[in-house]
Structure 1
């Protein structure tokens, strides 16, 4: 099912620059879209995507949430933990991880997050002109997760480079060779950290997980991959989106700098969702919109499109901090709702609070210098040149 001349690939750099017109066409002309070359079917309407997340019996996560053939399949759990599992394994693993990743433990991170944010902001504001994405939005979540995992400051840049390689894909959506090598090297590195914590526990997340008798070293390493991969890149893109769209909308920027921090955060999550899509495996032949989709098909759930569905969000293409974002599905839904969502929201709130205290609202962005990601699941800015003045 597809409209005339309607072509969609999550790896198309032209689409990635601005996917929302394509998403609108998908919702109206092809709510079930088939890309035979890449081998997936896409659902783009809010109702379909929400229902799909809720039905884990029909749409299995056992091949992982990614379309990339090198990162999906039965082996995906090795580096995506419970995000690539179904019940009962998913239930057991998520419950065990949750015991070490409690709301109380997350809330207790606020002073540390605020200290890191202030450190990076102080350096950036002193320079006046800097790359918001690279120099602040990327560094903050990486340092927070590194503190949780126990990566020393001297090794964090190397970990970031390795993860950047892991997240590099060719035009067909396949992970490049350097990415595979980096993934293996990171696995060995995280195993060494787990071994250290088992031998000499500390007051950190890995020690808490290592003390849980149900979790093996491989279980913990897989969760660390998930935490570092999903927990850094998505938060980076959330912060950059908030900064960019407030700049593009001066009235909303004024409200944000006047104290509307949480609406700023939530509308940015909806309007320019970092996690644009999640893949599932269809467990039985199913009909959507008059087309029977075969069993074992890869189903691509377009969160980025669902969050712009005008049937749910009036004037969905307007960036509006006063809107009700309660039906946004930026962190998924159902049993696979993002476990790191509270941490991402905490980092986002603290970062935006510190930004509004440190700089004046009249900042500027060099739009010609913006660079975006070019892979399927996550979309955001990897370069966002900006100029600020101290508050």
Structure 2
């Protein structure tokens, strides 16, 4: 019997997708799921090529598989990651004027302060939930502060973002609760943009309103969509990266010793490769494409699997081993080409800050995954809850 891949199988695939990914790479590098109407690419070379080929592998219908989310309306919630050039080029250029490397670099000290505050508060309790108490609130605070979201609204934005992404077992479409959460999020960001139109402040939302130079400025709708993308996707990626890093270092004591010995950056990068926080993205074909002797027709929905690509033995030696000493320069966790993640540097900085604060204060730790839970979403891989106990220095 051939390999079967249903990303909504939260019991088998979500628990550990990597055996299925391995079979896809070897047995069905161009995989077809008739029931859900998508193709899947799992080999590193094919995933990278598709990421870089925006002309044939279009983003115009968005990166999500669900029919309610897939289509030209996707840009309303997903901003420029649901656009193709030249629209994508214009939008990304304008956003980049506000979301500059300098602005991100200037945040580093503040990120460490935020991480230090949450880590210290958790350690005072002795036993805590790594996700709820540290991994989730740190990126929420950082990105909310960057965007100008009031502190009183941040926990609610996190809750709404979780509700929008959650899928119940056996379901494939966004729930009524999830759809309502999306509308509430849009309402929050619309109010924020309206407030900054009345009075600018020193934050990203104000900078986005002033981003235009010699071209049309961003509309309110475009800014709202970008803020939704930033606060939603940005939070999730970093939260899951932190949780996954703690989990796999706990599972591999030798690697944990290396991490605690100062290899923080390597810890972050190898975790991204080994257990990719954002393992799937969708594209739509603008023309027939043939790969490995199989023709995918124009209009086909193609799921790219960076989570599978990051363990391709054609690129990574001993790909199934968690090893902080390896070369991770070919990882595709943040995509590639014109849609390479604009927030990649920020996510890495946040993860390094949290893990550094933990290492400085903790001599050892233990996790209880059985008492925790995993996120149930085909787009993000990580923990919703991960109890942790520590031995402080």
TM range (shorter): over 0.9
Residue 200 of structure 1 pairs with residue 199 of structure 2: yes
Equivalent residue, structure 2, for 1:372: 374
Contact 2:241 2:277 in 1 (8 A): yes
* Distance apart, 1:5 and its partner CA: 4.3
Q: Normalising by structure 1, report the TM-score.
A: 0.97
- Among 368, 382, 385, the residue aligned to 2:384: 382
Equivalent residue, structure 2, for 1:280: 283
Cα distance in 2 between the residues matched to 1:107 and 1:253:
28
Equivalent residue, structure 1, for 2:65: 67
* Distance apart, 1:156 and its partner CA: 1.4
Contact 1:100 1:205 in 2 (8 A): yes
Contact 2:119 2:358 in 1 (8 A): yes
Report Cα offsets for 1:209-234 as digits up to 9, x if no partner: 01224111101000001101110001
Equivalent residue, structure 1, for 2:231: 228
Cα distance in 2 between the residues matched to 1:73 and 1:353:
41
* Distance apart, 1:172 and its partner CA: 4.0
Describe the SS at the equivalent of 1:16: coil
Cα distance in 1 between the residues matched to 2:125 and 2:247:
19
* Distance apart, 1:367 and its partner CA: 2.7
Farther-moved stretch of structure 1 (283-292 vs 176-185): 283-292
Cα distance in 2 between the residues matched to 1:31 and 1:118:
44
- Among 9, 15, 18, the residue aligned to 1:12: 9
Farther-moved stretch of structure 1 (151-160 vs 214-223): 151-160
What are the within-5 Å matches in structure 2 for residues 1-391 of structure 1?
4-13=1-10, 14-170=12-168, 171-213=170-212, 214-360=217-363, 362-391=364-393
Describe the SS at the equivalent of 2:14: helix
Report Cα offsets for 1:11-41 as digits up to 9, x if no partner: 1112111000010011111111111111110
Describe the SS at the equivalent of 2:48: helix
Farther-moved stretch of structure 1 (158-167 vs 86-95): 158-167
Consecutive unaligned residues of structure 1, counting only runs of 5 or more, are none
Contact 1:373 1:382 in 2 (8 A): yes
Consecutive unaligned residues of structure 2, counting only runs of 5 or more, are none
Describe the SS at the equivalent of 1:98: helix
- Kindly tell me the number of residue pairs found equivalent between the two proteins: 387
Farther-moved stretch of structure 1 (167-176 vs 252-261): 167-176
Contact 1:173 1:375 in 2 (8 A): no
Cα distance in 1 between the residues matched to 2:296 and 2:150:
48
Cα distance in 2 between the residues matched to 1:370 and 1:11:
20
Contact 2:234 2:343 in 1 (8 A): yes
Contact 1:38 1:172 in 2 (8 A): no
Cα distance in 1 between the residues matched to 2:353 and 2:290:
45
Cα distance in 1 between the residues matched to 2:167 and 2:370:
24
Q: Normalising by structure 2, report the TM-score.
A: 0.97
**1:187 to 1:271, Cα distance in 2 relative to 1, 3 A:** same
* Distance apart, 1:173 and its partner CA: 2.0
Describe the SS at the equivalent of 1:225: helix
Cα distance in 1 between the residues matched to 2:326 and 2:244:
17
Cα distance in 2 between the residues matched to 1:139 and 1:103:
23
Contact 1:65 1:278 in 2 (8 A): yes
Cα distance in 2 between the residues matched to 1:136 and 1:334:
32
Contact 2:369 2:387 in 1 (8 A): yes
Farther-moved stretch of structure 1 (168-177 vs 338-347): 168-177
For the aligned residue pairs, the C-alpha RMSD in angstroms reads 1.0
Cα distance in 2 between the residues matched to 1:291 and 1:95:
36
Contact 1:173 1:376 in 2 (8 A): no
Cα distance in 1 between the residues matched to 2:146 and 2:6:
35
Cα distance in 1 between the residues matched to 2:158 and 2:345:
22
